[in-house]
Amino acid sequence: VYFNFCYLQKRSIFYSKYFFLMGKFENIYYILLEFTLIPFLLLIMSVEALLLEVTPFFPHKDENKNVKEETSFFGKLKEAVLDAKNTISEALHLTTSEDTIDSLTKSNEKLVKEVVALREAVISLTSQSTTTTTTTSKKFNPSGPFLIMGDGNMSFSVAFSKIYSNTLITTSVLESKNEFFKRYPSGRENYTFLSHLNPRVNVVFSLDATKIPTSMYGKYQNIIMNFPHHGGKSNLKKSKTLLGNIFKSLKNVLKKDHGYFHLTLAKGQSGLNYDDVLKNIVWSEGVPQHEKDSWQAIYIAAEYGFRLALVSPFNINDFLYDSSGYKNRDQMFHNHDQSVTLTFEIADECKDLEDFNIIESDDDNYNMFHTLRPYFIHDISILFSSIDDLYYWECKLFSTIKSILSRPLIKIIELKHLRGSCPYTNYPNRIYRIYWQGVKVPLTKVLCNKFQNKLRDKLNNVAASVEKKEETADDDFDLFDSDEEEEDEAKKKLTEERLKAYHAKKSAKPGPIAKSSVILDVKPWDDTTDLVKMEECIKGIEKDGLVWGACKQIPLAYGKMSVEALLSEVTPFFYNTIAIKAGVASNVSKPCSSGSSNEELKAVKVSQDKLAAGIEEIKSMLQKLTVGSATVGSVKPCTSKEPVTEKKEAADDDFDLFDSDEEEEDEAKKKLTEERLKAYHAKKSAKPGPIAKSSVILDVKPWDDTTDLVKMEECIKSIEKDGLVWGGCKQIPLAYGIKKLQIICVIEDLKVSVDDLIEQITTDFEDYVQSVDIAAFNKI
């Protein structure tokens, strides 16, 4: 079996190599000696063992080919020996070939040259690793003092101080001195090294990057922070909050002129496209690929007045230090895969659109996206009055928007898949998307909203001015447009044509605007509510197309009521009787002549008598009503020159709530009235008000596809609070086989805080939950 490998020319090559390497070509008897030992070797070892010994000399030959499991040194040993003899004879004949020796000699010389080249490469790499200052000196400008924040075990500061040997450095950690030595045992040696470099290197303990003291304001030209973390497992919301607080604290610490903050973040945290970072792509015609599911560093920096000046891949070999701080322990973490260093500087400030355009006026890359700046999107809906001239008015709209906005406008496109029409007028409707971005002044949500409101107001003014011009042209329509005589036949013909065009234009105008009159019944909480204040609040609502009208107060129930108000409420139930009497009282006497004054006076007297009788009848009816009784003052008849007056007694103002027919001055009744009033008000105050509730849908994301979602749901629903009720739950596919948990709960707003609930879920069940987001929040 062994000698099946020694077929044809390969056998000769094998023995030629063997003899060449051993240097035994000078004596042929050595060859015979080598092969005379083979039969004896075969007697003491199996064919399989011999195969293992010979295989390295035949790397390109399949060692398992033609090998049988039942092969042994008994049965086929004789055949193997005979085959060996034939092979030896063929090998002895072929080893004298001069061509084979020459080829092997050239191959050997080539290998020697490759070994020499590899040795030189290793020496070059070794020299480069010992002189790291040649590469790192270009990373930071050594001028100005440096502040290194949150340096874990201080190994980065040690490496940095060796490279920048003439630079003032302040290194800091969050922990106190005792906590630092306890948490980072490896940091004791680094601290000792840095202490010997004092006063060039200063070590500060218990420095919170989010709360830097005022004594350090304006002292540092460069601030370095590598891989900040809030502690515990990753939480996007907490990470963004931490980053925002760091930027807020650092703005006063950096020097105003040429101050830089160098922030290094791990893979996927910055939100920038890593391929663009590697290719150093700054300007692009396409929309930048900013990851939303990240820390969004450039967006948070813009909110606190910073802009990104430079971004570069983080090379771990630039600084020979040991990363530490994983899970707040002296344990390393992976920081070499797609980590980036972001260099921020203080950006220019502006308050309105005019300042923005002045600052950005010298920008040469107009209408191009900056990949290192935040951008925002604003969709607008436009209704065109005619589809015929739509392209013309669309171009007019684009030019108007560009003239209003100028610099912050990068691109405006139509969302063709959202095309539609107005259901009432069938006017074509188009949706356009506006892209906003700034270079020297990075845009924020607040600044972008200001620009949007400015654009909206300007467009409204332009539309109003166009409409006013059309109305003016309709009112002052020039029929002739000429100073020639009106009787000219040509002018008459032109007049007729323009009249036709005028009427056609008038008929094309949209019809009347549909309006509606609405009467609202607004009910207060109780009789203590200030209705005048409530009316002012309601009328304080201002909207386009809304006009407030008159308002009146109508008695409802359980309140003090005068006789006049009660009369107005009772009138509809006794319309046939009371309306007639009221009609008599509401008649206004006409001025009488001197000849018939006596007759009219008599008529007025008769009418007053009838009115008095009617009032007495109304009094008796009111006493029979079940809503309560009241003492009505007597009404004296008067002449037509004086209005009818009523004497209001105290009983009208203090309406009797207790339906008693006894005298009001009775002491016992007064005492009973007071007690009942106290009981009434106590009952009113004890009534609970309406409970404000909200329905919340939470998106709970696990760590990976191995997380047990059923167990995670049980853990979340195990949280019990007063005012918290858990509802249904379902699993929704997310990506790459990972599912998220969507769970519903109902909370009482005064008892349960959603933020506290989310924090409790992420803290108590951090082994299952990666992050929690609010998918929907609705008031009940």
Q: What is the CATH number of the domain that holds 198?
A: 3.40.50.150
Q: How far apart are CA 315 and CA 273, in angstroms?
A: 17
Count other C-beta atoms under 10 Å from residue 139's C-beta: 15
Per the structure, the count of domains in the chain is 5
Residues 581 and 702 in one domain: no
Q: Which two tokens stand for residue 294?
A: 């990240």
Q: For residue 670, tell me if it sits in a domain.
A: no
pLDDT of res. 359: 86
Domain that holds residue 424: 373-468
Q: Is the model's pLDDT at 348 over the cut of 70?
A: yes
Are both 714 and 576 inside the same structural domain?
no
The confidence band for 406, taking pLDDT boundaries of 50, 70 and 90, is confident
Q: Is residue 102 part of a domain?
A: no
- pLDDT, tens digit (0-9, with 9 covering 90-100), for 216-232: 888 899 999 988 887 76
Same domain flag for 774 and 626: no
pLDDT of residue 610 exceeding 50: yes
Task: Using the 3D structure, point to which of 424, 443, 468 is the last residue of a domain.
Answer: 468
Nearest to 314 by CA among 267, 259, 260, 370: 267
The pairs formed by 232-237 with CB atoms below 8 angstroms and a separation of 24 or more are 232/327, 232/763, 232/766, 233/703, 233/762, 233/766, 233/770, 234/770, 234/771, 235/762, 235/770, 235/771, 236/293, 236/294, 236/295, 236/771, 237/758, 237/771
pLDDT tens digits along 631-690: 434 434 444 444 444 444 444 444 444 444 545 557 787 788 888 888 877 776 666 667
Check whether 400 has a pLDDT greater than 80. Answer: yes
Tens digit of pLDDT for each residue in 237-266? 888 999 999 999 988 888 877 889 999 998
Residues 199 and 283 in one domain: yes
Report, as an integer, the average pLDDT of 724-733. 91
**Shared-domain flag, residues 192 and 319:** yes
User: 71-80, 182-191, 550-559 — which one is most confidently predicted on average?
Assistant: 182-191
pLDDT at 13 over 50: no
In a shared domain, residues 176 and 313: yes
pLDDT for 52 equals 63
> 11 and 148 share a domain?
no
Question: With 70 as the cut, is the pLDDT of residue 538 above it?
Answer: yes
| 455 occurs within a structural domain | yes
Within a domain: 73 = yes
Q: What is the mean pLDDT of the chain?
A: 74
Residue 205 and residue 257 in one domain = yes
Is 353 domain-assigned? no
Per-residue pLDDT, 44: 47
Q: What percent of the chain has pLDDT over 70?
A: 65
| Any domain includes 355 | no
What are φ and ψ of residue 514, in 5° steps? -75, 125
Q: What is the CB neighbour count within 10 angstroms for residue 291?
A: 14
8 Å CB contact between 568 and 561 = no
> Considering the domain boundaries, does residue 359 fall inside one?
no
**Considering 435, 468, 501, which residue would you say is the last residue of a domain?**
468
Tokens of 768: 């299952």
Residue 117 belongs to some domain of the structure: no
Q: What per-residue confidence (pLDDT) applies to 151? A: 87
Q: Give which of 320, 347, 309, 338 is closest to 141, Cα–Cα.
A: 309
Dist CA 454 CA 378 (whole Å):
13
Q: Is the dihedral of CA 495, 393, 407, 364 positive or negative?
A: negative
10 plus 58 within the same structural domain: yes
- Same domain for 170 and 310? yes
Q: Which of 177-181, 332-336, 467-471, 673-677 has the highest mean pLDDT?
A: 177-181
Please provide the distance, in angstroms rounded to a whole number, between the alpha carbons at the two ends of the chain: 87
> Which amino acid does the sequence have at 258?
H
Structure tokens at 65: 């080919």
Q: Which residue has the higher pLDDT, 364 or 27?
A: 364
pLDDT of residue 18: 44
